[in-house]
Structure 1
Amino acid sequence: MKEITSPAVSSAIKKLLSYATLEKKVDKEYQKYVCLPSRKLYSMEVNEETVSCIGVEFLNSKASVIKHIAVLPKERGKGIGSSMIRFLCKNYDIHSIFAETDKEAVNFYSNFGFQITSLGEKYLGVERFLCEFKVK
């Protein structure tokens, strides 16, 4: 895992972030990782290709929120997303990790061990879920 700190977003990271947020919001979200000390963005490479990224916001010394997590479609199902979350747990003294997601990604979090709570239809026609993981 490599921390991304460049002031300019690379095309690979831009593509990955577009899987995790609206494409029109990618540049604005990336700038938050560059400018806010509470946020960090990491990427993972396989055979010199950037295949995933995870963006996290540290709420305090014991809790964090996964703001963005994305894996290239061809690399999904190989444990990359889970390994990124394990990286955060191992490298930071986090007790709780939160994420908000849609129905498409809720199984990923559930399979990792997150507790899932429906937030209902937060946006018109879109059910959202709060995912919470207590680090042991």
Structure 2
Amino acid sequence: MKEVNSIRIDQTIKKLLSYATSEEKIDKEYKTYTCLSNRKLYSTEINGEIVSCIGVEFRNSKEGVIKHIAVLPKERGSGIGSSMIRFICKKYNLNFISAETDKDAVMFYTNFGFRVTSLGEKYPGVERFFCEFEVK
């Protein structure tokens, strides 16, 4: 895992972030990662190609919130997403990590061991879920 902190956004990172947020928010979100000390963005490479990223906001020294997590479609299901979460928890010695997601990613978080709670229809026609994990 490599920290992403370049002022210019790599096109693959931009594509990955598009899987995790709306197109119109990508540049603003990326700038937040490069400007705020409590936000970190990491990427994973395979054979020199960026294949995933995870963005985390740290609420305090023991708690993190996954703001963005994405893996290129061709690499999904290979454990990269889970390894990114484990990396963040270990690197920052977290006791707790959470995320908000849609129904498409609920199984990923459930399979990792997150407790998932429906937040209901937060946006018209879109159910959102709160996922929380106590690191042991």
**Shorter-chain TM-score tier:** over 0.9
Partner of 1:110: 110
The amino acid across from 1:67 in the alignment is K
- Runs of 4+ with deviation above 2 angstroms: none
Partner of 1:41: 41
- After TM superposition, give the deviation of residue 131 of structure 1 in Å: 0.1
Partner of 2:27: 27
For structure 1, which runs of at least 5 residues remain unmatched after alignment?
none
For structure 2, which runs of at least 5 residues remain unmatched after alignment?
none
CA distance in 1, matches of 2:90, 2:38: 18
Percent of residue pairs identical: 71
- After TM superposition, give the deviation of residue 80 of structure 1 in Å: 0.3
The amino acid across from 1:64 in the alignment is G
**What do you get for the CA RMSD once the two structures are aligned?**
0.5
CA distance in 1, matches of 2:10, 2:92: 26
Residues 60-99 of structure 1: matches in 2 within 5 Å?
Answer: 60-99=60-99
CA distance in 2, matches of 1:2, 1:27: 20
Partner of 1:18: 18
> Normalised by the size of structure 1, how large is the TM-score?
0.99
3-state SS, counterpart of residue 117 of structure 2: strand
3-state SS, counterpart of residue 60 of structure 2: coil
* 1:2-61 alpha-carbon deviations (Å, 9 max, x no partner): 000101111010000000000111000000000111000000000110000000000000
Partner of 1:59: 59
Partner of 2:135: 135
CA distance in 1, matches of 2:133, 2:63: 10
- After TM superposition, give the deviation of residue 126 of structure 1 in Å: 0.3
3-state SS, counterpart of residue 111 of structure 1: helix
